């Protein structure tokens, strides 16, 4: 797993030239990339959500596209449209902004449900269908969607089906005063993003993604993952628990974390550290719980505290 570890360290170091003091969040974003998953970034404006997406694309040498979602946006503004060419007398497909390797869906909850749904096929099937014709998306393909958790006026909350498509949800948060001073110093003459260059090849990314799938997970750890997810479905504060896709997401991102640390096997600590990012956005709380200001993070943490952790030798057996 040393190749995955060196790949991750190169990408994380490159992104940290721009995103200061948020190593845990940056590593989570890289882990999502290694799992070929999509990322939901929920935070207030100005903390670096857009810059994180652009830095990932620049570090990988990937094509980048930014979609600013608004209430008047149509699905064709995302996927593309067929236009009749009078010279050739045929319809020609004009690709939309989703036809890029790294796509930033900025303020995704500003768009109507119909437009939000235009991303569903792209995120799950990695293709778009326009006028009955299917167009495959480029490889690699990753959606980083942002939403503001504070301003809900004029927004359309993401439906459960779409939230479930995101591998993990992360929050960057405000930097510490020391890190914020560092941000000011770095941008005295130019933005550090301008100095970023490609640090790994797409071939290295593809190999790392395949290597992550080979990380060993003991059956006891798999059962631990399933038990955690199952507890979300029976918790008294929960209206709708995490789906089997949640189990798979927690399993995959745990494999990625292990590989990023140079291990070829998953530990329960990997699962515990990633349970909240991988599961909390899939948990729908009951109305009574919301009235008491109980959060999904609180519920997942309570389940982690109460669930027995598997022990013994969890390494691959010869």
Counting residues of the chain whose pLDDT is more than 70, the rounded percentage is 98
Note the pLDDT of residue 316: 80
HEC per residue, the chain: CHHHHHHHHHHHHHHCCCCCCCHHHHHHHHHHHHCCCCEEEECCCCCCHHHHHHHHHHHHCCCEEEEECCCCCCCHHHHEEEEEECCCCEEEEEECCCCCCEEEEECHHHCCHHHHHHHHHHHHHCEEEECCEEEECCCCCEEEEEECCCCCCCCCCCCHHHHCCCCEEECCCCCCHHHHHHHHHHCCCCCHHHHCCCCCCHHHHHHHHHHHCCCECCHHHHHHHHHHHHHHHHCCCEEECCCHHHHHHHHHHHHHHHHHCCCCECCHHHHHHHHHHHHHHHCEECHHHHHCCCCHHHHHHHHHHHCCCCCCCCCCCC
For residues 90 and 75, what is the distance between their CA atoms, to the nearest angstrom?
A: 22
For residues 261 and 258, what is the distance between their CA atoms, to the nearest angstrom?
A: 5
Select the highest-mean-pLDDT range: 16-25, 91-100, 135-144, 247-256. Answer: 247-256
Note the pLDDT of residue 93: 84
Q: How confident is the model at residue 190 (pLDDT cuts 50, 70, 90)?
A: confident
Q: How confident is the model at residue 153 (pLDDT cuts 50, 70, 90)?
A: low
User: Which residue did the predictor score with more confidence, 41 or 157?
Assistant: 41
Q: Classify the C-alpha dihedral 2-6-11-17 as positive or negative.
A: positive
- pLDDT tens digit string along 215-272? 999 999 999 999 999 999 999 999 989 999 999 999 999 999 999 999 999 999 999 9
Note the pLDDT of residue 1: 67
Q: How confident is the model at residue 101 (pLDDT cuts 50, 70, 90)?
A: very high
The pLDDT mean for the chain works out to 89
Closest CA to 164 of 64, 280, 47, 252: 280
pTM: 0.90
Note the pLDDT of residue 314: 75
Can you tell me the mean pLDDT for 94-110?
89
Domain pair 1-210 / 215-311, same fold: no
| Correct CATH for 1-210 of 1.10.10.10, 3.40.50.300, 3.40.30.10, 3.30.110.30 | 3.40.50.300
User: Which residue did the predictor score with more confidence, 149 or 96?
Assistant: 96
Reply yes or no on whether the pLDDT at 154 is more than 70: no
For residues 252 and 85, what is the distance between their CA atoms, to the nearest angstrom?
A: 45
- pLDDT tens digit string along 291-307? 898 999 999 999 999 99
Note the pLDDT of residue 132: 81
Each domain of the chain, given as residue ranges in start order, spans 1-210, 215-311
Q: Which CATH class is domain 215-311?
A: mainly alpha
């Amino acid at each position: 797993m040393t190749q995955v570890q060196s790949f991750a360290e190169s990408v994380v170091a490159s992104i940290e030239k721009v995103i200061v003091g948020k190593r845990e969040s940056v590593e989570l974003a890289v882990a999502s990339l290694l799992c070929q998953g999509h990322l939901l970034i929920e935070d207030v404006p100005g903390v670096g959500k857009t810059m994180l997406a652009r830095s990932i694309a620049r570090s990988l040498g990937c094509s980048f596209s930014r979609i600013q979602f608004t209430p008047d946006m149509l699905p064709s503004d995302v996927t593309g449209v067929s236009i009749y060419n009078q010279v050739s007398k045929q319809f020609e497909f004009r690709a939309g902004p989703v036809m890029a390797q790294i796509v930033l869906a900025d303020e995704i909850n500003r768009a109507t449900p119909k437009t939000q749904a235009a991303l569903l096929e792209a995120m799950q099937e990695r293709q778009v269908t326009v006028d009955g014709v299917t167009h495959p998306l480029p490889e690699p393909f990753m959606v980083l969607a942002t939403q503001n958790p504070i301003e809900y006026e004029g927004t359309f909350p993401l439906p459960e089906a779409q939230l479930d498509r995101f591998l993990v949800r992360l929050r960057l948060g405000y930097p510490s005063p020391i890190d914020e001073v560092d941000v000011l110093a770095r941008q005295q003459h130019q933005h550090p993003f301008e100095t970023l260059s490609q640090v790994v090849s797409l071939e290295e990314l593809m190999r790392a993604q395949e290597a992550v799938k080979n990380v060993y997970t003991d059956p006891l750890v798999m059962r631990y993952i399933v038990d955690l997810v199952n507890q979300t479905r029976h918790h008294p504060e929960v209206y709708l628990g995490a789906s089997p896709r949640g189990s798979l997401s927690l399993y995959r991102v745990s494999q990625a974390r292990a590989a990023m640390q140079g291990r070829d096997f998953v530990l329960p600590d990997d699962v515990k550290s990633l349970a909240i990012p991988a599961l909390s956005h899939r948990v729908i709380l009951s109305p009574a719980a919301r009235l008491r200001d109980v959060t999904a993070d609180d519920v997942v943490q309570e389940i982690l505290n109460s669930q027995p952790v598997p022990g013994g030798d969890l390494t691959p057996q010869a």
